[in-house]
Amino acid sequence: MLKIYRIVFFICSIFCICLSSLHASQYGPNTLFQAPYESDEYIGNFTGTFCAGKTDQSYDRSGNVVPFLQNYGKEDILLGFIDPLTHDDPFKKIGVMDFSGSVQFECLNLSYYKNIMHHMFLGIGTIVQNLNIYIHESDLQLLQPLTSDEQRSLELFESKIPKQINTSGILSTYLETGYNRTYTELKSVHELQLFLRGAILTPQWMEGADLNLLQYPFTGNMTFGYQVIGTVTAQLTKHMSFGVFGTVNSFQSKVIDAPYNEHIPNNQLFIDKKIRAQYTPGTVYNGVVYWQLNNFNRNFTIMAGLSFMYGTPRKIKPLNPNSLYVASELQTTLRVNATLESWNLNALFLELDYNFLTKDNPQGPCISLFFNTPLSGYHYPKINGIGGEFGLTFNYYI
């Protein structure tokens, strides 16, 4: 009998791309962008960031808001699902099932960076995440009457669908280096900061139900990843700064046992087989424009911005497609499967910082609160995030 809990988990983990690639790729403390580090020589900074969110909605392929998991459409239920030993046609369609649920996460990011000579810096960090998937409804619509034995098998089949699924662990550890410099002798602006950063992301280590299927499709940190970030911030007036941020995240390929549909290519949750294949996570692009109000109070800084994220389609290449039962159908299925498609998100974020730093004493703690909310998207959970950050800046020579 098909292990339904594994397959549901496979698709539910679509949300992992939201957080794992956002935080594990360290797009920024507030999961949407990364403000430049302090550029003073030999400054070091330890940062702890916590964020959380929950939603029961998602954007579908047309950008409409629908209940979470319904963006994949109805799932076909085959006779072979409920009775693998049936003497009838196992591919006979007996009904359809529609899911709705919610997703909840908590994420902790611990990092440290150190400015060294020639405007360079080094850093290291790790991210811990807890993810919960809740299945609220699984509405089954039968297309034909069932025998008493088939009805009992169907009830057993439905009992395999969990109401809650959880995974937790280390999402990724990363090493970073970069160039960070502030120009103060410009005539057109008060000052201009240039921030360039490169990072290597390690694969994740997590615990939960069916770890392989959880990691496979959506968390780019199942494989090694490489990230490049660029940020330019201009102090336009005494009280206002404007910044532009961009990042590119790419990931290595890996050979895995990839789920695929051989007989029901429209299904996204119930996937009946696996194949040995080369899996390549999609590249993720992120761009942000933001405004910052500062210097009106020596302790407070207010920041607001708009973010756009785009994930390219994930790719699966069978290692030996000629040995498959229906090679051409497999290739089509892998190409159109919604779980492999591209996605995007437009979001608004707000941040409030309170720091104890001054120009004369750039050492001490800083506390931040932030909130982000999506404005539109495609194949992406419509999830609001809220969180906070504590940073401790200190200066010493190496």
pLDDT in tens, 319-328: 876 655 444 4
Q: What angle do CA 175, 112, 245 make, to 5 degrees?
A: 70
- Who wins on pLDDT, 125 or 325? 125
Over residues 290-308, the pLDDT tens digits come to: 999 876 666 788 999 998 8
pLDDT reading at 13 higher than 90: no
pLDDT of 334: 52
pLDDT score for 300: 84
At the top level of CATH, the class of 4-395 is: mainly beta
Where residue 254 falls among pLDDT bands split at 50, 70, 90?
confident
Whether the per-residue pLDDT at 234 is higher than 90: the answer is yes
Three-state SS at 378? strand
CB atoms within 10 A of CB 84: 11
Report residue 178's pLDDT band, with 50, 70 and 90 as the boundaries. very high
What is residue 304's predicted lDDT score, i.e. its pLDDT?
92
DSSP 21: I
188: left (phi over 0), alpha (psi -120 to 50) or beta: alpha
pLDDT for 392? 79
pLDDT at 211 over 70: no
Say which residue, 164 or 12, is predicted with more confidence: 164
The reported pLDDT for the residue numbered 104 is 86
User: What's the pLDDT band for 388 if we cut at 50, 70, 90?
Assistant: confident
How many whole angstroms separate alpha carbon 281 and alpha carbon 202? Answer: 14
Q: State the average pLDDT over residues 375-381.
A: 87
Evaluate whether 99 touches 69 at the Cβ level (below 8 Å): yes
- Token pair, residue 235, equals 């102090």
Q: Work out the pLDDT band at 213, boundaries 50, 70, 90.
A: very low
pLDDT tens readout for residues 267-296: 766 766 677 888 788 888 989 999 998 766
Which pLDDT score, from 0 to 100, does residue 198 have? Answer: 93
User: What local confidence, expressed as pLDDT, does residue 215 receive?
Assistant: 32
Span 140-176, pLDDT tens digits: 899 888 888 888 888 888 887 777 777 788 878 899 9
